[in-house]
Amino acid sequence: MAKHKKILIVDDDPDDVELIKMALADKPYDLVFAWNGKDGVEKAKTEKPDAIILDIMMPEEDGFKACKRIKADNELQNIPVLILTAIGKHFSDTTYARCEGLTLESEDYIEKPVDGEYLVKCLKKFLGE
């Protein structure tokens, strides 16, 4: 029996987490969770996930900083990071800079609200399934 892939979901919004859980419910993934960027990086170090779904706007440490820390860590840098964000529609009323998002070494951006089918396609692509 094949080992399930582990997906780390880092998002502070319970509704968004629930949508992701529903999209992945019948897929062969083990889901682990963190609720802010700081905890997400620590969880990535302990759990060694196969992929990370990372929100941008979060308390304590945002997804920009968390992604940079993940990609700078020798043990984590090869884990695919899918950025999940709603800020594309809200750049004019946020403090997040568009150019900062473009410098991230993430594998893809996924707009909120989550399109479950697209999320699954992205995960399969980056997990080599």
Would you say residue 16 lies in a domain? yes
pTM of the model: 0.85
pLDDT digits (tens, 9 = 90+) for 8-18: 999 999 999 99
Number of domains in the chain: 1
Would you say residue 129 lies in a domain? no
**Nearest CA among 110, 117, 89, 102 for reference residue 9:** 110
Q: Compute the average pLDDT of residues 88-98.
A: 44
| Whole-angstrom distance, CA of residue 46 vs CA of residue 106 | 20
**Domain that includes residue 11, residue range:** 5-124
pLDDT digits (tens, 9 = 90+) for 27-52: 999 999 999 999 999 999 999 999 99
> Picking from 61-75, 82-96, 107-121, which range would have the lowest pLDDT averaged per residue?
82-96
**Residue 105: pLDDT band by 50, 70, 90 thresholds?**
low
CATH of the domain at 44: 3.40.50.2300
